[in-house]
Structure 1
Amino acid sequence: MKPGVLFILFTVMIDAMGIGLIVPVMPDLILEVRGGDIGKAALWGGVLSTVFAAMQFLFGPLLGALSDRYGRRPILLGSLVVLVADYLVMAVAGTIWLLLLGRIVGGITAATQSTANAYMADISAPEDKAANFGLIGAAFGMGFVFGPVIGGLLAEYGTRAPFYAAAALAGINAVFGYLVLTETVDDRIRRAFSWGRANPLGVFRHLSRLPGLGPLLLVYFLYQVAFTVYPAVWAYYTSERFDWSPGMIGFSLFLFGISLAAIQGGLIRPILRMLGERGAVIYGHAADIGVFLLIGFVWSGTALLILTPLAALPAVITPALQGIMSKAVSDDAQGELQGALVSMSALAMVISPLIMTASFSAAIGPASPVYLPGAPFLLSALLMAASLGVFLRASRRFVFT
């Protein structure tokens, strides 16, 4: 593998690890700098997560457009350098406002996946692009898997240790990139910067041009909102309900990530062969509803740990939905469709943490008529049921394999 490609994969993996590394310590860190109880910490955690996702949504297209004008190398290396500084600031932050600023800057610098994808497109022959984009997806998945467990282990050395580790990883990768990354943008493919192409709202304008896909896009969006309950409240829920340590939280997220990778990387094929695309989406929704209900009312930490890998079983929904929608549009509209799906995922990441953390805080607060820390997962079950209803009605017009 070429050194430049290795750098790109490391960059994407570090972006994902940077998110996961700090998840296990966020409840304790927010309590440390803000005070209050776990419910208030969850609300602030929702704000921090939403701000991070919003920055990715806003700046992903912008960084991609800037890289078309000025090149991939300065955008990628510059983002890594800023990311190092950002992690170091968060490592010493003594107020919630500095943490908030850190998440704003971190969201901007982590929005480089569009640039990483552009680099891979630059160096790939047409027949190799899909496989190379798959490498980026795999790198992001590996970062998601290993980030939380490493963060949980580092948390044993204090709430600031994961931030120093993330800064070190980003710094080492920046040096590596400086040494090996060559520029792929030349005058042949360079284009002038345009705010119209850098504006994420333009993606939503394209949604109306995709005939017949509105209901399926709604299904995709509802699913993303419901699924985001895991990164949004898992650390707060397990800390409040079962008094899990950061190490245990990190291990459970590692178990979930490994199971998710196994489903989407291997078991998805036999499931599709047995059920077809429509059946896989229906099965995934039904399984998700059941899992969310079980987590909402689970009685012990051991039972929840057993449920954790099972929670990945419905992960067939996303690839099956993407397959259905991809066949419903022409070959020259595939990029437009995938851009729309990316935008909807980002929007879900903005909205869901606020909804889920607010429901968690309300359900454990003194004004709640019943103590129900699993309330966000019950809400996700309702969203999943609504999504299934929309899908059953909308899918009648499509021909499935």
Structure 2
Amino acid sequence: MGFIMVAVLIDFLAVGLIIPVLPALVGQFTANPAEQTRWYGWVAFTYAAASFVSAPMLGALSDRYGRRPVLLLGFCGLALNFFATALATGLWMLLASRIVGGAMQANAAVANAYVADITPPEQRARRFGLLGAMFGIGFILGPVMGGLLGGIDLRLPFFVAGTLALLNLLYGVFVLPESLPAERRRAVTWSAANPLSSLRALARLKGVGLLMPVLACVGLAQFTLYTVWVLYTTFKFGWGPTQNGWSLFAVGTVAALVQGVLLGRILKRVTPQRLAVLALCSAMVANIGYGLATEGWMIYAIILMNLLGNTVGAALQSLVSGAASGSEQGQTLGAVSGLSNLMAVIAPALATPLLSTVSHLPRGDWRIGAPMFFCAALLAAALLMAVLHFRAQPRSAPPSTPTPA
């Protein structure tokens, strides 16, 4: 378990490093903010689409050939992606490298399978929580490190990320053992490699009802915010990589605090249904605040005030999990992950054209917040559907406390 935790931490630390600087790197090959936004949208879209398509394929390949070779392939691909991005001389090189990076980043699903292989069922929740903590630490430390390095040289974070990926590859070659014995391997099937197959199972699950479109709206809002955050703060406040790195550090730290410390205490006082409603309200107001903010410090104030907004994913996941039987938990939560990945593909296609239409406006103009208002509208729709769903459901014992995402 220690081996895979270190590997995942290095992996996501490397990914987090490039978040504050990638939009600025795209800007080096474009003539104006609108063009920069459009091309960054394509870069984000190709990355998410490659990850969406490859995740079930890599998972199926790991079931057939073992976890270790697939993980090593992922580390190698990420190193190639980072170095190619650092040396890019044109947009086509950025797009090609991000396709490789998205496909290889899907090895996070293989890491989860690795943990399941080596862990007894009664200990899996705790160990998945540890793995989630490594994801979180990587995304907390990575952006602020990337912002500081990007303040020195815009391409430096990509070289550092590539070096970390190479270290991960060497670590895997010499330390990481195989977790899946030959007798438990199975042949690759097209159904297992189909990224949409699990969504049909989620739609057929009794008791989910409107929660599926609620999850879709929440996921689309979250990935829209993730996609435009750096460009939005650059256009609105003139922030550079360093300021954006610190803002993402604040977002990650607050989310980790809420999910790791406060969530369990909150659920002792309110049901997951009520928490979902309160969290959706908080997130909706926060996105309106992001869009209306006129000074950079306001963003930090909103991040701190939006504590409940960080619980919406865990609350909804708990409710969906509660609608599935014990034998359907893996398939159901896998489908939730697949739906989230699909929203990650759709978000750049919607968010960046919207931001592009207002990118010419002067710094501080409230209309630059159009993508944030779009997120708020999505969350308002999710809130309405969630309330309708809860009112239609018979009262029953609340689901068990969810493991923080």
Question: Partners of 1:18 and 1:55 in 2: how far apart?
Answer: 18
Question: Partners of 2:210 and 2:234 in 1: how far apart?
Answer: 37
Question: Partners of 1:209 and 1:56 in 2: how far apart?
Answer: 25
Check whether the contact 2:293–2:366 (CA below 8 A) recurs between aligned residues. Answer: no
Identity of aligned residues (%): 37
Question: Partners of 1:249 and 1:114 in 2: how far apart?
Answer: 28
Check whether the contact 2:15–2:161 (CA below 8 A) recurs between aligned residues. Answer: no
Corresponding residue of 2:57: 62
Tell me the CA shift for residue 240 of structure 1: 0.8
Corresponding residue of 1:8: 4
Corresponding residue of 1:81: 76
State the secondary structure of the residue aligned to 1:354.
Answer: helix
Tell me the CA shift for residue 248 of structure 1: 0.6
Per-residue CA deviations over 1:180-199 (Å, capped at 9, x if unaligned) read 11112223201112222112
User: Which of the numbers 385, 393, 396 marks the counterpart of 1:390?
Assistant: 385
Question: Partners of 1:45 and 1:17 in 2: how far apart?
Answer: 21
User: Which of the numbers 3, 6, 15 marks the counterpart of 1:19?
Assistant: 15
State the secondary structure of the residue aligned to 1:302.
Answer: helix
Question: Partners of 1:214 and 1:165 in 2: how far apart?
Answer: 46
Check whether the contact 1:21–1:151 (CA below 8 A) recurs between aligned residues. Answer: yes
Q: Which amino acid aligns with 2:52?
A: F
Distance 1:18 1:354, change over 3 A: farther
Corresponding residue of 1:270: 265
Tell me the CA shift for residue 280 of structure 1: 0.5
User: Which of the numbers 314, 318, 321 marks the counterpart of 2:309?
Assistant: 314
Which structure 2 residues correspond to residues 347-362 of structure 1 after superposition, within 5 A?
347-362=342-357
Larger mean CA deviation between 5-14 and 192-201 belongs to: 5-14
Question: Partners of 1:167 and 1:77 in 2: how far apart?
Answer: 14
Tell me the CA shift for residue 207 of structure 1: 2.3
State the secondary structure of the residue aligned to 1:197.
Answer: coil
Question: Partners of 1:18 and 1:230 in 2: how far apart?
Answer: 21
Question: Partners of 1:400 and 1:394 in 2: how far apart?
Answer: 16
Corresponding residue of 2:27: 31
Check whether the contact 1:364–1:372 (CA below 8 A) recurs between aligned residues. Answer: no
Question: Partners of 2:24 and 2:328 in 1: how far apart?
Answer: 46
Which structure 2 residues correspond to residues 134-145 of structure 1 after superposition, within 5 A?
134-145=129-140
State the secondary structure of the residue aligned to 1:382.
Answer: helix
State the secondary structure of the residue aligned to 2:191.
Answer: helix
Q: Which amino acid aligns with 1:73?
A: R
Question: Partners of 1:190 and 1:27 in 2: how far apart?
Answer: 41
Q: Which amino acid aligns with 2:302?
A: L
Corresponding residue of 2:247: 252
Corresponding residue of 1:45: 40
Distance 1:312 1:93, change over 3 A: farther
Question: Partners of 1:332 and 1:392 in 2: how far apart?
Answer: 28
Q: Which amino acid aligns with 1:19?
A: V
Corresponding residue of 1:380: 375
Distance 1:309 1:222, change over 3 A: same
User: Which of the numbers 186, 189, 198 marks the counterpart of 1:194?
Assistant: 189
Please state if 1:169 is matched with 2:159. no
Question: Partners of 1:313 and 1:212 in 2: how far apart?
Answer: 25
User: Which of the numbers 144, 155, 158 marks the counterpart of 2:153?
Assistant: 158
Tell me the CA shift for residue 313 of structure 1: 3.3
Please state if 1:108 is matched with 2:106. no
Q: Which amino acid aligns with 1:8?
A: I
Question: Partners of 1:64 and 1:161 in 2: how far apart?
Answer: 32
State the secondary structure of the residue aligned to 2:163.
Answer: helix
Question: Partners of 2:2 and 2:285 in 1: how far apart?
Answer: 40
Number of aligned positions between the proteins: 393
Question: Partners of 1:169 and 1:204 in 2: how far apart?
Answer: 35
Per-residue CA deviations over 1:28-57 (Å, capped at 9, x if unaligned) read 21121x222223212222221121111111
Distance 1:311 1:236, change over 3 A: farther
RMSD over aligned Cα, in angstroms?
Answer: 1.6
Question: Partners of 2:347 and 2:390 in 1: how far apart?
Answer: 25
State the secondary structure of the residue aligned to 2:207.
Answer: coil
Corresponding residue of 2:297: 302
Per-residue CA deviations over 1:105-159 (Å, capped at 9, x if unaligned) read 0011111112111111111112111111112111111111111101001102211
Larger mean CA deviation between 100-109 and 154-163 belongs to: 154-163
Q: Which amino acid aligns with 2:218?
A: Y
Check whether the contact 2:11–2:164 (CA below 8 A) recurs between aligned residues. Answer: no
Tell me the CA shift for residue 312 of structure 1: 4.5
Question: Partners of 2:35 and 2:3 in 1: how far apart?
Answer: 39
TM-score (norm 2): 0.93
State the secondary structure of the residue aligned to 1:257.
Answer: helix
Question: Partners of 2:375 and 2:397 in 1: how far apart?
Answer: 27
Corresponding residue of 2:402: none
Larger mean CA deviation between 156-165 and 178-187 belongs to: 178-187
Tell me the CA shift for residue 12 of structure 1: 2.4
Per-residue CA deviations over 1:190-215 (Å, capped at 9, x if unaligned) read 11122221121221221233123131
Tell me the CA shift for residue 230 of structure 1: 2.7
Unaligned runs of 5+ in 2: 399-405
Q: Which amino acid aligns with 1:232?
A: T
Corresponding residue of 1:333: 328
